[in-house]
Amino acid sequence: MGALTEMDNRVKSISSRCFRLLPSSRKQEDGKSKEHVCLDLSGVDSDAPPPTLEDIRMWGESFEKLMGCSAGRKVFKEFLRCEYSEENILFYLACEELKKEKDAALVEEKARLIYEDYISILSPKEVSLDSRVREVINVKMRSPNSRTFDEAQMQIYTLMHRDSYPRFVNSSVYKKLAQLNNNSRKDSVA
């Protein structure tokens, strides 16, 4: 956990408060835009080894590598939170948890919660899905199972991959985390 704490401290030292990567980022007194970052890696799986600098750099080469790493998902989630699209990764991760559930009663309960939290048009965390996928989900919700949201999950995964991921990789936050702007040869962030 100590190495993750050091990584968290390194990320916090990159900037002051919160990502602000949208074109309408705040102007400083000198008229220049400023990006902010705040990342709390305390929720990262403490049993997993901390990511090496090479691991972090791989996040920029492969969305699958980013999503396959607990710390990578956490950093990406914080990026999405500041882009006001955190619901996408939350929905994706909730679907992954649903797939692991074996108890039929719990599957049904979790599916209903996912529906209420991310699919319902009344939800403040509603994900953006096309009408066909919404109709498929509505039919499947009559008898939900662990794969009820597969099509929607794939649509959101694709959205994150094609839309949010390129902005993440091009952000100064990712570049600083991956030390792409300097010639450091450190093998680990710890």
Let me know if residue 51 belongs to a domain.
yes
Same domain, 8 and 78: yes
Between residues 4 and 165, the one the model is more confident about: 165
The model's pLDDT over 16-74, given as tens digits with 9 standing for 90+, comes to 333 333 333 334 444 444 333 344 455 555 566 788 899 999 999 999 999 999 999 99
d(CA 88, CA 96): 13
d(CA 74, CA 72): 5
What local confidence, expressed as pLDDT, does residue 1 receive?
47
Task: Quote the pTM value.
Answer: 0.74
Question: Which CATH number is 37's domain given?
Answer: 1.10.196.10
Same domain, 80 and 169: yes
- Written as six digits, the tokens of 21 are 């990567």
What local confidence, expressed as pLDDT, does residue 184 receive?
43
Let me know if residue 190 belongs to a domain.
no
Same domain, 9 and 50: yes
How many distinct structural domains can be found in the chain?
Answer: 2
- Using CA atoms in the order 158, 161, 167, 171, what is the torsion angle rounded to 10 degrees? 150
Same domain, 7 and 76: yes
Domain that holds residue 35: 2-84+164-177
d(CA 80, CA 108): 28
- Name, in order, each residue with C-beta under 8 angstroms of 160's C-beta and a sequence gap of 6 or more: 63, 76, 80, 88, 89, 92
Same domain, 123 and 55: no
Question: Which CATH number is 106's domain given?
Answer: 1.10.167.10
Same domain, 144 and 170: no
